[in-house]
Amino acid sequence: MALVVHVVGARPNFVKIAPVVRALAARGVAQRLVHTGQHYDAAMSDVFFADLSLPAPDVHLGVGSGSPIEQTARIMVALERAFGELPRPDWVLVPGDVSSTVAAALVAAKLGLRVAHLEAGLRSFERSMPEEQNRVVTDHLAALLLTPSPDADANLAREGIPPGRVARVGNTMIDSLLSALPAASARRTAARLGLAPGAYAVVTLHRPSNVDDRDTFARLLGALADLARELPVVFPLHPRTRARLDGGLARAAAPLRLVEPLGYLDFLSLTASARLVLTDSGGLQEETTVLGVPCLTLRERTERPITVDEGTNQVVGTDPARILTAAARALDAPPQGRCPALWDGRAAERVAQCLVARS
């Protein structure tokens, strides 16, 4: 019988992997779940396992915080030991583009284990971006590249990846969204925060390029404060972002509704009934596309262009005037998006079929 080892470490990983775990279990495939501990506090990890009905990890490496280099190195050392104690898997499945992803791909490849990359082929074409580095390295080490969209297939072809290693399966993050939406809607998170559905904006920021650079962060907060004069702006704070909010930056953020990080169901509930979302997250660009909520991406480029071509997303960068102009336009005339092909809630079934067929 096939054995699949999943390696996860950050909350986007949990959302992407949960439906795959269920789809493989339905086929009787043996699985082990390894949590690196890259995201480790309750708000960033435990609540996601509960909301997504993920089983407790079989192995928890507990690497904790640190720079991307420190985290990657610690994960690699701990994973080598863990793989030595686990049964030899048919596949090591790594989702996304975080430090845990590339660390697991490197260790598995060096141990002669086959790597399957879930969400392969995405490119922002910004090689200085840590996530882009992780994506490129992981894709070129993987034996099986599970892509979400046609642009990802094209990127891999340009990089010389043989087509026999590529399978377009769709987006498992959307599987989780569609499955959880009824329970999330019942949470009525907006009402609990005193907000009227369709009458507020949601913002998330966590990228180092946005929050570690004080001038950039100050500009973004200024634009968000101006937007808050038009409608309430709710800002769930990533721990990295909260750590940067000191002194003048904290005062600049005063017009915003700052809240603690939300669990998966509560955040989905909040996003689904928002009038506008502003973010530097990749996954949120995808989720808003399916939810039909206008999204402004506060970066210069996106690795998810399908959300612009077919969805409700617009890439606006970090210039306040450009952000506010785009926000006014989106509030006035919301874009009409459509759901991309294979973002249908059955991507995990296609992933499971690929892994079993190639075991």
Catalytic residues: 206
Contact between 168 and 153 under an 8 Å Cβ cutoff? The reply is yes
DSSP string across 238-295: -HHHHHH--HHHHHHTTTSEEE----HHHHHHHHHT-SEEEES-HHHHHHHHHHT--E
CA distance 35 to 61: 6
Rounded-to-10 torsion of CA 134, 3, 265, 307: 40
DSSP helix/strand/coil, 92: strand
The DSSP H or E segment spanning 321 is: helix 320-332
CA distance 224 to 229: 9
Locate 239 and state its tokens: 């721990």
Residue 30: Cβ-neighbour burial (10 angstroms; 0-12, 13-18, 19+): middle
* Nearest C-alpha neighbor of 100 from the set 114, 115, 86, 85: 115
CA distances from 357 to 91, 105, 113, 149, 162 (A): 12, 21, 17, 21, 18
CA distance 203 to 225: 11
Residue type, 157: A
CA dihedral (172, 52, 70, 243) positive or negative: positive
Locate 24 and state its tokens: 């493989």
- The residues near 265 (Cβ < 8 Å, ≥ 6 apart) are 51, 180, 183, 184, 187
Measured in degrees and rounded to the nearest 5, phi and psi for residue 15 equal -65, -40
